[in-house]
Chain A
């Protein structure tokens, strides 16, 4: 019975969709009508429902965001692969030295160990090594998403064509042409995408590291940007966009800033919470709301944007809790360096001495 009903249902649906009238379709199923009609009615009602589509803005931005993420991930995977190859080569080299001819191996190994200990000793005596690795991790970079992007380095007066992946520092200016787009990726993973005809200056970049607050302050003079802000671990941390007429301080994760040629600013929160201030007045924008700020005026009352309604169940993150990876990359917090850090260094030196003694004895016995 159920099979018959299902067959009748499927056939009727197909025929109705192909243009036949309902009456004709049901003609052959008089005995099944009491069950069939309600099922068809319900199914056709569902199919008649207008199909939900992603918003135009989401469609426009999401593909770019996705491709950027995939590129970044590919670079990360490639880099970790290279690191692995490098460590394998290093390990094999050391193995060859240890297991090679003993006459060469012993002096060479001892020299290496002494050099290593020397480095530790220098470290413990306060001689600091350059923090190349840390500096690399904490860099902020510029990616060219489309067309030609221009950069003005701090203190320079001329614009140069930006290369994809180049580093940026505080004081740099970045501008896109009518046909280009750029993405700035900051040390903590926060990104800002510059739409065509946008100009901004990187005012401040402070990667405190450890538990220290971070600060990213940008001055957007013209155009449209979309910021995706990584959650800020420290309450003192800030991500701020200043425009000619307002400043937007972020406490959330995703928002759009648009500056017109007259300097008027429109801020639109997509996710989280953004504080917009001008002329001493602050307006808090939850997700799905926007405000306009005319030059010399205070921000307008927030209005709903067609983008997304605020989610009542999930209040915007006022005090983020999860620390980004930045803490692992920065210098140690004050206090650690002079106390616990020094003790740890001495223990490492002692360990290295014991290890070198053990290796020497082992080599001696093999001879």
Chain B
């Protein structure tokens, strides 16, 4: 099973390199941020296009509701625009800064809505892909549902590390914790998740 999953990862990596849009180099991104700080809407629009998928995904895996995730994502970028001046001099950490805005806004929104995790079953399966077997898709569903059941800090670290594929330094910037604490949290979250999945399977 482990080897199978490893193969899926390799296959995904190969697919991603051919199908996803080419990512901008850091210099171009920094230039866009500086232009946006100067009030350039178009530059901010470019940043929006670059980060939309990532912010949406980060929000979606926590709220598990498309409409809520879309609303929160849109507001995150409005807030980012309003506060873009505070990013001056820290352009290199723009991504972490954006995730932090998303995190704070999401917490506030969900707190006010008292809707931390929707238990609604989402259709997360890409029905257009005939290669995705129903069984695998159900496994994914179960896995995502179990991640959603984790304590908030464990859930966040799992999403940032294994779905957003951030390194520990970036995660520490988003969550405001030290890297050592992030490592411990990861181990704890994975162990916890493993136990939950095993008990569900039993």
A residues bordering B, Cβ < 8 Å? 2, 5-6, 9, 16-17, 19, 21-23, 37-55, 58-59, 62-63, 65-67, 69-71, 73-74, 270-271, 287-288, 307-309, 311-314
A313 and B118 in contact (CB under 8 A), knowing A41-B2, A46-B163, A63-B48? yes
Contact B187–A5 (Cβ < 8 Å): yes
Chain A positions within 8 Å of B70 at CB level: 54-55, 58, 62, 308
Interface locus among B24-32, B57-65, B101-109:
B57-65
B residues bordering A, Cβ < 8 Å? 1-3, 5-6, 8-10, 12-13, 39, 41, 44-45, 48-49, 52-53, 56-57, 60-61, 65-70, 73-74, 77-78, 81-82, 113, 115, 118, 120, 122-126, 132, 139-140, 143-144, 147, 158, 162-163, 165, 183-184, 186-187, 190-191, 193-194, 197
Quick one: which of B10, B65, B118, B183 contacts A19, CB cutoff 8 A? Answer: B10
Contact A63–B49 (Cβ < 8 Å): yes
Contact B67–A287 (Cβ < 8 Å): yes
Chain A positions within 8 Å of B162 at CB level: 43, 46-47
A313 to B118, CA, bound (A): 8
Chain B positions within 8 Å of A74 at CB level: 39, 41
Chain A positions within 8 Å of B126 at CB level: 50
A57 to B124, CA, bound (A): 17
Chain A contact residues, majority secondary structure? helix
A40 → chain B closest CB, angstroms: 7
Contact B115–A313 (Cβ < 8 Å): yes
A71 to B122, CA, bound (A): 35
Quick one: which of A38, A52, A71 contacts B194, CB cutoff 8 A? Answer: A38
Contact A23–B3 (Cβ < 8 Å): yes
Contact A50–B124 (Cβ < 8 Å): yes
Chain A positions within 8 Å of B44 at CB level: 70
A211 to B70, CA, bound (A): 32
Contact A55–B184 (Cβ < 8 Å): no
A75 → chain B closest CB, angstroms: 12
Chain A positions within 8 Å of B6 at CB level: 16, 21-22, 44
A54 and B61 in contact (CB under 8 A), knowing A17-B13, A23-B3, A313-B115? no
